[in-house]
Structure 1
Amino acid sequence: MILLVLPRLELKAAQSKSPIAHTAWQPLCDLSKDAQKLYNKALKLTTDVEGYFSAGQKAIIQAQIVAAKENTQEAMLAPVAITAAIKDNLNNKEPRRPVCLKAAARLTVRAAYLHGRLGDFFELLAAMRGTTSGDACLAKHDDGGDSDTAGSTEFYKNRCNLAPAVPQPQASQPTTISAAGFTGLDAQQGLTNTEQPSKKNTNCVLLSTTTTDKNGDGGIAEPLPFAAGYLTAKGDHAANSPSINLAALSDDDRQASQKQRVRHYIELWEAYQDFTECEKDFSTVFSTPTAAQLNDSLAVKTAIKNQYLNIKGAFDETKDKNLIEPLLKDLFKDEDAAYPKKVGAEAEKQQIPEPATGKQEKTKLSDLNDIGELQQVKIFTPTSKFKI
């Protein structure tokens, strides 16, 4: 009689499997959805960085083209000053340009890797649900209740945005990642009984809390790195050590030796912190300098001294002020008919002839964005065959 009972007890123990509670997997689903926002943000930053420098170059050439129409002192002076101010602006931004382009690429790579790992996690466990009972490996309820007939791989693909879309340059903020860490990712010891509160589903072999159930030879060689290590599962789902709280991270975690079990999350978090600093650097689009900025710019004053007055050396407040500042104040005024606003107004009015652009019809100067085209237009001075 005892011999008959023992095999039944062993079978019951071997089927001690339980689904992952909704509270444990939903934050991972939210993080997967955030991946698309990160792709979009990275593309937007790349576009903003390159757009900033391109707009600056465009403004320089526009000023030179507009001034080339006139044979006046103003026309000689204005492009020198405007070019100096814009170049000073761009030179100050230049050191951050390669850093921020790299930050955008790094964020994309880190997010894409983790996104793919989360997709595998959801699709694998969704596919392992029961065929008739609807028993799910990912519980529908917070208490681990797993009667979920709708939890197909397609369901999770849509619910959690497992497949990336073509990125668009957008700045939507993610909901799960911040300077503090990852919201909701507080399963600090991997996959344990806390994340598997009930034991119903006999179909999820990989989620068994009995070591021999996962592998018939008596155990597994290594813990199972579910969800890129966040829900790492030992053979008996005992707690992993040390405890790691992804919801509360610090700068110390940037060290490569820290939190190895969830290192891919740390790398994404670190990339995001560096990325947000770059977003601040390029949070505003390029704008042409105002009259006040041109009048106050040391770079402009030095350029006028060197290039217009042909005097060597940097601007000297004591020696050069009375010589240069009156020139600037007469030239740059906050009036539509005066520089620098005059450049924008003329760019809107000027119709560039076909030979200057290679197009089939005249084009407004303000509509030309390609630097090569603008350089070509610049060749057509008032003394050339085709006048602007």
Structure 2
Amino acid sequence: MWSKQINANRESAMFPAAPDLVIVFGPTDRLADRTLIDRLAHRYDTAMIVGCSSGTMVEGDRLDDDGVVILGMGFDRTELRLAVQPLPSSDLSFAAGAALGKDLSADDLSGIFVLSNGLNVNGSALVAGLRTVIGDSVALSGGLAGDGARFADTRILARGEHHADVVAAIGFYGDHVRFAHGSAGGWQPFGPVRTINDAAGSTLRGLDGEPALALYERYLGEEAVDLPASGLLYPLEIWDPAHPDVRVVRTLLAIDRDAGTLTFAGDMPQGWKARLMRGMFDELINGASTAVHHALDQTIAWGTSPSACLAISCVGRRLLMGQRTEEEIAAVAAALGPDIALAGFYSYGEIAPQNQTAVPCLHNQTMTITLIGECA
């Protein structure tokens, strides 16, 4: 297996051979550009081409807010399949995930990498739908397309077209392909622990009997005028009180001022506990380092080195850290070394196994790492 990351803006950049898989990350308007799509299809006419939009792309050890980043991979002993399902509204997320699972299911399915539209989706329901079909033994990771702080439009690139309302998944087949994952946040909780007392799916209506939006606005103060974008800087940590050691973070995607509700990227189960979080630069950078080292530790048993790394982080981390965001990518790149191709994007939600349980789930405000390799 070989992997190489290039930037589409540099016409001289070439892969060492015809790739089997091309993963593309770029700004929303670039991925909706027919000229770019046609150029990619012509240049990589034998490859599976899949991608998504973002406000910030990972290009090796640096970030790019404008360019189109491409990760090419060539496999020696691994089969690939692509499945695409419509996802016009978030309440269809579970069904879309289950349909993808059925499309890709096979006895030799080893892993799935999934990219979804980032606005009309319940990411945790999408993952749950997939898991009902493929189980938990198949490696599963990916992310929700982004659009920076605009929250206006996200795009998925698949089968030679750009789509605003689909989810695409790549299936990897055979005994030779290997996956390793890591995820970590670095956000610090503050304020009292509250109980989700009124919620439906990803829509949060009440915390401790108070309207959720009113409570959120009180904590944000002057920053509340910039919701939902300012909410990215103050995610919610949630957990089942029966399992307090297994926690996930949820990012705010939308608000309804008339209804007084908040919509997050994944489920907000009634009865779960919730606490606001805020970021500290050094802790977030340390979180990125923790994620990549957790993944690298799993590759020791492979007998070979990983070839590619897909790093999917959260737009909230990007907005909070600003230029210092490069430090978390530098930490990842330094741990990987020069021989592992690194590409990725800043998302509206990250999909990866939990470090504690290895069960795939939706993360928010987290750096997630997917390492891919191929054994002899």
TM-score bucket of the superposed structures, by smaller chain: under 0.3
**TM-score, scaled relative to structure 2:** 0.20
Which of the two has higher C-alpha Rg?
Answer: 1
Higher relative strand content: 2
Higher helix share: 1
TM norm structure 1: 0.20
